[in-house]
Amino acid sequence: MDKTIIARSAVEMEEIGIDLAVNLSDGMLISLVGPLGSGKTTLVKGIAKGLLITQVVISPSYLLFRSYQGRLTLHHLDAYRVSSLHELAEVGLDLLLPPETGVSAVEWPTRVEGIVEASDILVRIDLLDDLARRVSITS
Amino acid sequence: MTSPFHTLGIETSCDETAVSLLRGETEVIANLVYTQAEIHARYGGVVPEIASRDHLRKLPYLVNDALTRAEISLDELSLIATTYGPGLIGPLLVGLSYGKGLAFGLDIPFIGVNHLEGHIFSHRLTSPDLSPPFMALIVSGGHTLLVEARDYGNYRLVGTTVDDAAGEALDKVGKMLGIGYPAGAEIDRLAQEGNPTAIRFPRPMASSPGFDFSFAGLKTAVLYYLRKSPGERKEDVAASFLASVIDVLVKKSLEATRRYHLDRLIVVGGVAANSHLQKRFVIDGQKRGIDVLFPKPVYCTDNAAMIAGAGAFRYLQTGETHPFSLPPAPSLSLHQESER
């Protein structure tokens, strides 16, 4: 199923994430594609809200990954500083692609071969003008 | 005369593999961070490729090298201190298992150290006589935290980033400007030649109550600025962006120091090595009667000397050790350290 939504603010971007969270179930893998500053982490904040997670979701870029407990466990991964599946396997994160329990949301999935292809949901964010983003969801 | 107390520190929580040897609580006698270049040079470029976070293959080299440089032998070690969190589970396990194994084999005590508490101890390697209470700003690629240190081991979280860490924002804006990773040092250099008032970027959260930080919006502001004005001098963008990051860090940190009735602030972590940031902190601190202190740059970025320092302090002051069953704690917070 394909869907395209225009988000005009960070709040609207979060709302897309909240909506997305409703249909998530254990073992799902979500790929988030979009340039720096396009709102990928903001969308994941929305997914976290939708999964009834109360912790603050912060960027996983440095640590590569953070987990949060809610209706489902949310594994938030960031392949920004990674260039191969081997590198992810080295630190044990290949086991989350997809995870056995919980859902994984991966930023910069195209940096590692095979993640986008293995995803249940692909979210693509394009920058339009100052405030608007086009969010295309394929599931 | 009794033989000196030697602590071996091991840090493998994320990217860096680091080993350090400490004599007493604060005298660093070896401090090594693995770099691919160093090993390649030593083996004439013929070592097989060692992957970036392959800590297991790097650790034995570094421990041997540290012992050789400090001119001590394994049986002169008194304590092993290893980071047990926060960080990535795989790398943490490697460092912990190695440290525990060595401590078991040598029959010496072992202690796990919180990486964040290690950063707080980094200043002590530079100023051994300084002790809490003080406010601490831990600011790096992975963390932006304000912590009230009432005593060592007694911390209260005052503020944190709600999205990107400050160092991460620097790296990502660096990427937009075409600078390689990590970008901190190069942004510092570019900013030297730029005008910090050329562009007025937002000061996120600067006037909101509380002491939390946010840098994601600032990153986006730079992105849009560059899209609209692709011809802008890189130096001016770097200087203006850095000015915005520094403004927020300095304002919030000094306010928090005052609010908690303290007169000293230590700034630690990789971003603390930034020269513009240090200058502003010292000048604005003076105006408000607050002493602002920084570790030497080599102890700002991730290192094992700070881990050895925190471990040696806890062991020598309180006799604290950990059993070999201590598991890695990827989401460890400083708050948990206070409850120990």
Per-residue pLDDT tens over the stretch B155-201: 999 999 999 999 999 989 998 898 877 788 889 899 999 999 999 99
- What are the sequence ranges of the domains in chain B? 6-120+300-338, 131-296
The residues, ordered by sequence, that sit 6+ positions from B52 with a Cβ below 8 Å of its Cβ are A87, B15
Q: Round to the nearest angstrom and report the end-to-end CA distance of chain A.
A: 5
Phi/psi at B268 (nearest 5 deg)?
-130, 170
Strand ranges in chain B using DSSP code E only, listed in sequence order? 6-11, 18-23, 27-33, 79-85, 110-114, 134-139, 144-151, 154-160, 264-268, 291-293
Which tops the pLDDT comparison, A36 or A24?
Answer: A24
CB A59 within 8 A of CB A39: no
CB B90 within 8 A of CB B300: no
pTM of the model: 0.91
**Which three-class secondary structure state does DSSP give residue A40?**
helix
Contact B157/A at CB under 8 A: no
Question: Rounded distance, CA B207 to CA B45, Å?
Answer: 53
**Candidates B51, B162, B181; nearest CB to A90:** B51
Residue B48: its pLDDT value, please? 45
- Domain with A24, as residue range(s), is 2-138
Q: What is the pLDDT of residues B76-117, one digit of tens each?
A: 999 999 999 999 888 899 999 999 999 999 999 999 999 999
Q: How many residues does chain A have?
A: 139
Chain B residues in contact with A91 (beta carbon < 8 A)? 53, 88-91
Assigned token pair, A91: 């630190």
Question: The domain that contains A33 carries what CATH number?
Answer: 3.40.50.300
CB A115 within 8 A of CB A79: yes
Spans of chain B below 50 pLDDT: 37, 40-41, 43-49
Residue B337: its pLDDT value, please? 72
| Domain covering B6-120+300-338, topology | Nucleotidyltransferase; domain 5 (3.30.420)
Residue B160: its pLDDT value, please? 94
Contact B14/A at CB under 8 A: yes
Residue B51: its pLDDT value, please? 54
Minimal CA separation from A112 to chain B, in Å? 15
**Candidates B142, B167, B176; nearest CB to A63:** B142
How many domains are contained in chain A? 1
**Candidates A61, A87, A92; nearest CB to B52:** A87
Is B131-296 the same fold as B6-120+300-338?
A: yes
Question: Rounded distance, CA B173 to CA B187, Å?
Answer: 9
Contact A128/B at CB under 8 A: no
CATH class of B131-296: alpha beta
A41–B222 CB contact, under 8 Å: no
B14–A62 CB contact, under 8 Å: yes
